[in-house]
Amino acid sequence: MEMELALHKNDAPHWVYRGEGAVNLVLAYNGSSPLFVGKVLRIQKASRKVAPGSEQWLNGHERLIWKDNPDILSSPSKEIAQQMFVQNVMAPRLGSQHIDAGIVSQVATIHLWCHLLDIRVLVSREFLESVEKSVLCQRPAWRIEAAKVNTNCDYALLLSDHSVFPHSIVKGEPCISVEIKPKCGFLPFSRFIAEGNAIKKSVTRFRMHQILKLHQQEIAQISEYEPLDLFSGSKEKMHKAVKSLFTTPQNNFRVFLNGSLIYGGLGGGTDSTSFMVGEAFEDVLKCVIQAEVGMRVESFLHLVSETVSKSGVLDRLLEVQKLDIFDIEGAIHAYYDIVSEPCTVCRDLGEDIASHRYTSLHSIPSDESLKIVRDYLIAATAKDCSLMISFAPRKDGNSASPYSNVYLASTDQSFDYKAYFIDLDMKPLKKMQYYYELDQKIVSCYTQMMKTKHQPEKAASSGAYETTS
């Protein structure tokens, strides 16, 4: 039996701001309708700089990139194509148990009925306009400047809210979750990295990028987080990484209680972090962590690191990240061959250097070029995604839970947990040039900082940049 879900202006107050990325805004449901409890709504944004409809969602070159995925090519919209990408490309690599496999069946457009649930979520213009007004004060200023809610779109995507357990909501039981952006967990090893950029092989991208972000005033202080620690497999190093993320969360670490953000940032900005700090955060943990005052935060961070270690989810993520075997300094040359444009990188490097290092990349068959770029874009998604881990205290004697279990020794508690990867959007081909230019900026800023740091007369003024040995 077909069912149509529609959201109108009077439904808007039940949908609250959860966060946003470059192309979508995410709303969480706080009402009582069983159809929406435990769900989030992802609605499209419209760039303020690009005229609506002026860009195709999948251009001719991208159709070549994804030619082996007919579900992506035949998708009637960008949003459906994104879900096909998650289901057909990312889920097999990351493990379907850590991806919302039902995500596509819960989505439909005015043109497309879902084959499994026959549910579509239509949104009125009045609903979107009301939502846009209500979330305006919570959105980061730079996000507002870049894009607005696309009020011309007549549908939205309904997804599972991985920050909660649906049964916990119904029973009024506490649920706490943490969202982590692991970032890239390995050092590049490509032979196509220029000699002047060799620092990339010994210092992680995240650590170097922190310097550029500080220089551009995107962050207020350098994070002590080291991605290599989180991906190391060592419980001690993984716990150190989690503590560092907690100390300087930026937009890489967020905590939710019963689906509401209680710690971390809303998605960017210099100081858009920490709803609760110190005693306030310690106090709110008492409903989940059975520890003495002053020990709850530490116990919670141990719970997070223990679960990351036990779940093994980062092992799969690292494998996907390592599909980038050429680094952007190699992949960019394959990109220019695909789009049939003169390689501006070779031009800027000069004929002697380019012919010595990159001639081989420009002489490979087109299918190999496509694979290099396709693997790079898949790896880019894996480097930029988030990991959501949710916890619910397990009651004594409840051994029939369908969820995985983790034991916290410091408090003698057992927790149900679930771990899901989110923000797995397909990266557009046109971003390849952006990725290359950003990479060069990051390395240049870091190497310049290192030169300044080692000049004795300027040592006093460079202390703020000291990050890693």
Whether the Cβ atoms of residue 142 and residue 270 lie closer than 8 Å to each other: no
* Secondary structure class of 152 (helix, strand, coil): coil
- Averaged pLDDT for residues 298-323: 97
Which two three-digit tokens encode residue 43?
């609605």
Measure Cα distances from 425 to 83, 145, 179, 252, 442 in Å.
Answer: 8, 22, 17, 17, 23
Look at residue 376 and tell me if it is in a domain: yes
Whether the Cβ atoms of residue 204 and residue 318 lie closer than 8 Å to each other: no
**What residues have CB less than 8 Å from 87, skipping those under 6 apart?**
71, 99, 101, 103, 104
Taking 80 as the threshold, does the pLDDT of residue 68 lie above it? yes
Of the candidates 123, 144, 161, which is a domain's last residue? Answer: 161
pLDDT of 447:
96
Question: Are 326 and 443 in the same domain?
Answer: yes
Look at residue 263 and tell me if it is in a domain: yes
Question: Are 171 and 133 in the same domain?
Answer: no
Which two three-digit tokens encode residue 108?
């439909």
Question: Are 106 and 215 in the same domain?
Answer: no
- Averaged pLDDT for residues 60-68: 94
Look at residue 23 and tell me if it is in a domain: yes
Q: What angle do CA 305, 311, 317 make, to 5 degrees?
A: 95
Distance between CA 70 and CA 415 in Å, rounded? 41
* Between 267 and 96, the higher pLDDT residue: 96
- Averaged pLDDT for residues 211-237: 95
Question: Are 280 and 148 in the same domain?
Answer: no
- Averaged pLDDT for residues 274-282: 72
Residue that is written with structure tokens 């850590």 in the block = 98
Which of 105-109, 176-180, 242-246, 398-402 has the least mean pLDDT?
A: 105-109
Look at residue 423 and tell me if it is in a domain: yes
Measure Cα distances from 239 to 226, 236, 299, 378, 468 in Å.
Answer: 11, 5, 11, 28, 18
pLDDT of 414:
94
Taking 50 as the threshold, does the pLDDT of residue 196 lie above it? yes
Taking 50 as the threshold, does the pLDDT of residue 42 lie above it? yes
Question: Tell me: the pLDDT tens digits for 398-455?
Answer: 666 778 899 999 999 999 999 999 989 899 999 999 999 999 999 999 999 998 876 6
pLDDT of 110:
31
Question: Are 139 and 167 in the same domain?
Answer: no
Question: Are 125 and 238 in the same domain?
Answer: no
- Averaged pLDDT for residues 252-280: 73
Question: Are 286 and 236 in the same domain?
Answer: yes
Which two three-digit tokens encode residue 447?
């190497």
* Secondary structure class of 180 (helix, strand, coil): strand
Distance between CA 167 and CA 401 in Å, rounded? 11
Of the candidates 161, 184, 216, which is a domain's last residue? Answer: 161
Question: Tell me: the pLDDT tens digits for 111-133?
Answer: 333 333 334 578 899 999 999 99
Look at residue 351 and tell me if it is in a domain: yes
Sequence letter at residue 263: Y
CATH at residue 113: 3.30.200.110
Question: Are 21 and 32 in the same domain?
Answer: yes
- Averaged pLDDT for residues 340-363: 86
Based on the structure, what is the number of domains in the chain?
2
pLDDT of 113:
30
Question: Tell me: the pLDDT tens digits for 11-28?
Answer: 999 999 988 877 889 899
Which of 265-279, 294-308, 382-396 has the least mean pLDDT?
A: 265-279
Of the candidates 146, 161, 176, which is a domain's last residue? Answer: 161
Whether the Cβ atoms of residue 453 and residue 464 lie closer than 8 Å to each other: no
Of 166, 100, 99, 85, whose CA–CA distance to 392 is shortest? Answer: 166
Look at residue 55 and tell me if it is in a domain: no
Look at residue 69 and tell me if it is in a domain: no
pLDDT of 274:
54
Taking 50 as the threshold, does the pLDDT of residue 29 lie above it? yes
Which two three-digit tokens encode residue 288?
């989940």
Question: Are 139 and 179 in the same domain?
Answer: no
Question: Are 151 and 186 in the same domain?
Answer: no
Q: How far is CA 397 from its chain centroid?
A: 36
Look at residue 83 and tell me if it is in a domain: no
* Between 45 and 180, the higher pLDDT residue: 180
Question: Are 246 and 139 in the same domain?
Answer: no
pTM listed for this prediction: 0.85
Mean pLDDT over each residue of the chain, to the nearest integer? 85
pLDDT of 459:
40
* Secondary structure class of 409 (helix, strand, coil): coil
User: Domain range holding 124?
Assistant: 3-50+94-161
Which of 59-73, 167-181, 200-214, 287-301 has the least mean pLDDT?
A: 167-181
Question: Tell me: the pLDDT tens digits for 78-115?
Answer: 777 888 899 999 999 999 999 874 333 333 333 333 33
Question: Are 271 and 157 in the same domain?
Answer: no
In the chain, % of residues over pLDDT 70: 84
